Structure 1
Amino acid sequence: MKNESLIFGIRAIIEAILAGKTIDKLFIQKGLQGDIAKELMQLVRENNITFTYVPIEKLNRLTAKNHQGAVANISPIDFYDLENLVINTIESGKTPLFLILDQLSDVRNFGAIIRTAACTGVDGIIIQKKGGAPVNADTIKTSAGAVFKMPICKVDHIKDAMFYLQGSGIQVVAATEKATTNIYDTDLTIPTAIIMGSEGKGISTSVLKLVDYQAKLPMYGDIASLNVSVACGVFLYEVTRQRL
Structure 2
Amino acid sequence: MQSNTQIYGIRAVLEAINAEQPINKIFLQKGLGGELFKELETAIRKNGLSCSYVPIEKLNRLTKNNHQGAVANISPVPFHSFESLVEQVLEKDKAPFFLLLDQVSDVRNFGAIIRTAECCGVDGIIVPKSGAAPITDDTVKTSAGAAFKIPIAKVDHLKDAIFYLQSSDIKIIAATEKSQTAIYGINFNQPCAIVMGAEDKGISPSILNLVDYKAKLPLLGEIGSLNVSVACGVFLYEVVRQRIG
Give the TM-score of the pair, scaled to structure 1: 0.96
Unaligned runs of 5+ in 2: none
Give the length in aligned residue pairs.
243
Question: 1:211 — aligned with what?
Answer: 211
Question: 1:24 — aligned with what?
Answer: 24
Is residue 157 of structure 2 the alignment partner of residue 147 of structure 1? no
Matches within 5 A, 1:1-244: 4-244=4-244
**Deviation (angstroms), 1:65:** 0.9
Identity of aligned residues (%): 63
SS in 1 for 2:206: helix
SS in 2 for 1:154: strand
Moved over 3 A (4+): none
SS in 2 for 1:190: coil
Q: Distance in 1 between matches of 2:159 and 2:97?
A: 17
CA, structure 1 residues 38+47, in 2 after alignment: closer, same or farther (shift >3 Å)?
same
Q: Distance in 1 between matches of 2:206 and 2:26?
A: 29
SS in 1 for 2:125: strand
What is the CA RMSD across the aligned residues, in angstroms? 1.4
Letter in 2 for 1:129: K
Stretch moving more, 141-150 or 15-24: 15-24
For the Cα contact (< 8 Å) 2:112–2:143, is it kept in 1? Answer: yes
Q: Distance in 2 between matches of 1:216 and 1:45?
A: 37
Stretch moving more, 50-59 or 60-69: 50-59
For the Cα contact (< 8 Å) 2:171–2:193, is it kept in 1? Answer: yes
**Deviation (angstroms), 1:45:** 2.2
Q: Distance in 1 between matches of 2:122 and 2:228?
A: 17
- Post-superposition Cα deviations, 1:107-150, rounded to whole Å, max 9, x if no partner, equal 11100000000000000001011111111111111101100111
CA, structure 1 residues 184+130, in 2 after alignment: closer, same or farther (shift >3 Å)?
same
**Deviation (angstroms), 1:4:** 4.1
**Deviation (angstroms), 1:50:** 2.5
For the Cα contact (< 8 Å) 2:102–2:203, is it kept in 1? Answer: yes
Q: Distance in 1 between matches of 2:238 and 2:116?
A: 12
Unaligned runs of 5+ in 1: none
SS in 2 for 1:126: strand
Q: Distance in 1 between matches of 2:54 and 2:221?
A: 46
